[in-house]
Structures are given as C-alpha cells and as structure tokens.
Chain A
Amino acid sequence: DAGVTQSPTHLIKTRGQHVTLRCSPISGHKSVSWYQQVLGQGPQFIFQYYEKEERGRGNFPDRFSARQFPNYSSELNVNALLLGDSALYLCASSLRGVNQPQHFGDGTRLSIL
C-alpha cells in the first residue's frame, strides 16, 4: 500500500504570497493532521481533521487554514507568507485520531525569500 504522499516536495515563495500544500492519506485512514517543523525543532501541531471536520487547531495565526475532502485528502493553505513560515510541513494520517499510530509523509520543504 502507498504511504502518505505530499506535494510538492519543495517550494520556494516570496513574502506576501500564498501557498497550498497537499496531502493524500493512507487508504482507509480518515484522520489527517498537519505539522510545521522548523529546523532543529520537533514538529508543531497546526490542524487535525477527521471525517472532514476540524477536530483540533494549534497555536497558529488565521493565515493558516486547511480542509479535508470527501476522499480524505487534505490541503493546507497559508496566506501572506512571512519569512518565519519557512519550514518543513508534515502531514500525518491515522485511522481515527492521534491516539493511534500516526503515519507521516516526507513533508513539503517551504522556503520563503
């Protein structure tokens, strides 16, 4: 079975632009979570979606938004990009929620110039 896939793998943007990151969960997984990992740090929780509903939101500004589609894939959108948004954005899927094994994709490396 295919693992969690994320696209694109790398992205370069400039300040003020908008970005959309995409995630396809493992087949059968209904929960998708998004994390931001800054170099040298552990991942920080941004959003969790289960059955297309937001189930959790981390301490991130409203410039960050996400959604989950009927096929359980997900998008993370970030508006008005700042230099500090440069990070590895990770998507994780699980059958139902965070108390179950999380399967991570390899992330999207976002660089803001």
Chain B
Amino acid sequence: TQLLEQSPQFLSIQEGENLTVYCNSSSVFSSLQWYRQEPGEGPVLLVTVVTGGEVKKLKRLTFQFGDARKDSSLHITAAQPGDTGLYLCAGAGGYGGSQGNLIFGKGTKLSVKP
C-alpha cells in the first residue's frame, strides 16, 4: 500500500516566520503535486514537481522533490495570514499502484496569526 506521510499535522505560527512542511513515502512517484485547500472549497493546485532533485519557487513558496522521487518539501518564507489553510501533497503514478489515481497525504493545517 502506498502512503504519503505529511508532517507536521498542525502548525501555528506568527506572521513573518518561516516554516517547512514535509511529505515522505517509501514509494517512488512519477510526479508529486502540492495543493492548498481552504474551508468549504476544493484543493487548488500550487505546483507539480516531476524531476528528482527539482526545486520550484512560487513567490515566497519553495518546493523541492527528493532525488529518489519519494519525498518532497514545501518551505514558506515570511508567512502571512493569507497563507493559512490545509496543505496537501499528492503522488501520481506510483510504481506498483494504480496509474489512475492520486495518493494524498493527510495534510498539514497551517495557521498564521497576525
């Protein structure tokens, strides 16, 4: 069974602080996607990483895909209250699993206080 473990599960920080969210698995994925979800809404795609070792930046957000394509991290610099939400990582095309699905982690619930 393929699993994606996210940590931490909850994170409460002050505005201006930096943070890192981790997404780990024992399985290799062909790509890994990060989503942000707000209450009452569906997840919104932030980034897709495909190549082992890849780093992508989206303003204050930096995403990294591990060399072995089993893990990923999301780093937020100078967090703002607008960054508050549930951050989900999802793996696609894992070996040994169905090619037709995304496997999601349980998410990291981030709260940024002003």
> Which chain B positions have C-beta within 8 A of A57?
98, 100
How many pairs of residues, A versus B, come closer than 8 Å at their CB atoms?
Answer: 75
Nearest CB of B to A20, in Å: 19
Q: Report, as a range, how many residues of chain A touch the other chain.
A: 20 to 34
- Across the interface, A102 reaches (CB within 8 A) one of B6, B33, B99, namely B33
Contact A42 B99 (CB under 8 A): no
Annotate B20-42 by CB proximity to A: 1 below 8 A, 0 otherwise: 00000000001101010000111
> Which chain A positions have C-beta within 8 A of B30?
99
Complex Cα spacing A8 to B107, Å: 26
Contact B104 A44 (CB under 8 A): yes
Annotate B67-104 by CB proximity to A: 1 below 8 A, 0 otherwise: 00000000000000000000010101100001111111
Residues of B in contact, count (CB < 8 Å): 27
B33, closest chain A residue (CB): A102
> Which chain B positions have C-beta within 8 A of A33?
100-102
Contact A56 B98 (CB under 8 A): yes
> Which chain A positions have C-beta within 8 A of B42?
4, 90, 92, 104-107
Residues of A within 8 A of B (CB): 4, 33, 35, 40-45, 48, 50, 55-58, 90, 92, 97-99, 101-107
